[in-house]
């Protein structure tokens, strides 16, 4: 069986009723048989059967030991950063999602955590930036928004030799294309709002750990901080994941055609898409991923804000909005939208 079939049939049938759809346990608390004796659940912040099914599912998707679902992608990132303490250092990809950059610099740096930003598409940059204070290497691959590719396996070796955690934001690839834990990463995060949900109707984040010990630490933070995903959104996310492989396959096919069209357009200066042979790390992308994703970035020869605004407001099918991975095609201008905080 292929991955999609295996995944689909790993979602359990409800043993009480035979329901083929996972039940939504819309409850805040669970009745106990006697004080401290329950049926596996006591309070919905600590655990909920619908969320537990989702967390098991995303762990399978990423070939990990433990998954944890959060109320947003940034809440998932925040949980990873809470593994650190004052005096620790992060080496992070320079082409980083604007929300993550804001969290790193405007929230965590005030607590004595320093961040070095490097171009992780060159492994030597990561190697040279790591110090004895480095406790976390943070990469996106592909990055948001210029789709740089980092060699996950090579950076995992650096992290292992320095005894620090490697966390990969896998949002722009999705586990349908790339499994960073299998390449040596310790943690994977997703804005599950994007490809995993797939329908632009929920906000969610997930963290998956390669080993149980680290996963247990994330689960502790999830419960202690409380930024959990509710049961209905957990159910929506399970529903979205059921069609993940089919959707991502079509995303990739569509994006490849658009990238080729833009590459030949006289008004376009550069096209950033890992599937193009001209992409700097095209060979690395081919090696570690089974596809190149559904996002294409490009710059104009007339490199002005006015020209960019004219393009993004003149499309007929693409909707001007932040996000990705849904059924409808979107267009954005990162400098004024997702990356305005940088």
Annotated catalytic sites, by residue?
45, 97, 169, 194
Which residue in this structure is represented by tokens 């950076």?
A: 155
Question: Cα 214–241–94 angle (5° rounding)?
Answer: 55
Strand 268-272 relative to strand 297-300: parallel, antiparallel, unpaired? Answer: antiparallel
Exposure string for 176-214, b = 16+ CB within 10 A, e = fewer? bbbbbbebbbbbbbbbbbbbbbbbbebbbbbbbbbeeeb
Per DSSP, the chain holds a count of helices (H) and strands (E) of 11, 11
125 and 91 Cβ atoms separated by less than 8 Å: no
Q: Which residues contact 217 (CB under 8 A, 6 or more apart)?
A: 83
Torsion-angle region of 37 (φ positive above 0: left; ψ -120 to 50: alpha; else: beta): beta
Structure tokens at 302: 């007339």
Question: Cα 302–340–199 angle (5° rounding)?
Answer: 95
In Å, the largest CA–CA distance within the chain is 73
Closest CA to 293 of 279, 304, 311: 279
Structure tokens at 312: 């993004």
Phi, psi of 223 (to 5 degrees): -70, -40
DSSP category for residue 239: H
Give the whole-angstrom CA distance, residue 41 versus residue 38. 6
First to last CA, the chain: 45
Structure tokens at 227: 């930024």
């Amino acid at each position: 069986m292929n991955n999609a079939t295996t995944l689909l049939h790993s979602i359990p049938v409800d043993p009480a009723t035979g329901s083929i759809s996972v039940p939504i346990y819309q409850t805040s608390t669970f009745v106990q048989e006697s004080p401290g004796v329950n049926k596996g659940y006591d309070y919905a912040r600590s655990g909920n059967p619908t969320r537990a099914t989702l967390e098991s599912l995303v762990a399978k998707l990423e070939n990990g030991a433990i998954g944890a679902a959060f109320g947003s992608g940034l809440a998932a990132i925040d949980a990873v950063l809470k593994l650190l303490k004052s005096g620790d250092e992060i080496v992070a990809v320079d082409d980083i999602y604007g929300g993550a950059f804001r969290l790193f610099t405007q929230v965590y740096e005030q607590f004595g955590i320093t961040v070095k930003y490097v171009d992780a598409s060159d492994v030597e940059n990561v190697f040279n930036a790591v110090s004895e204070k480095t406790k976390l290497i943070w990469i996106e691959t592909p990055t948001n928004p210029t789709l740089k590719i980092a060699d996950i396996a090579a950076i995992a070796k650096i992290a292992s030799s320095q005894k620090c955690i490697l966390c990969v934001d896998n949002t722009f690839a999705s586990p349908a294309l790339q499994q960073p834990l299998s390449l040596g990463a310790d943690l994977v995060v997703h804005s599950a709002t994007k490809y995993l949900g797939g329908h632009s109707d929920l906000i969610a984040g997930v963290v998956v750990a390669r080993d149980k010990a680290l996963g247990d630490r994330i689960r502790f933070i999830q419960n202690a901080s409380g930024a959990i995903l509710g049961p209905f959104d957990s159910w929506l996310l399970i529903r979205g994941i059921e069609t993940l492989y089919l959707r991502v396959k079509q995303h990739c096919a569509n994006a490849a055609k658009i990238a080729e069209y833009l590459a030949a357009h006289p008004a376009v200066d550069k096209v950033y898409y890992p599937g193009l042979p001209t992409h700097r790390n095209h060979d690395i992308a081919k090696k570690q991923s089974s596809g190149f994703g559904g996002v294409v970035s490009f710059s104009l020869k007339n490199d002005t804000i006015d020209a960019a605004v004219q393009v993004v407001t003149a499309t007929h099918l693409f909707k001007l909005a932040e996000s990705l991975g849904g059924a409808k095609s979107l267009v954005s201008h990162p400098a004024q939208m997702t990356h305005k905080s940088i």
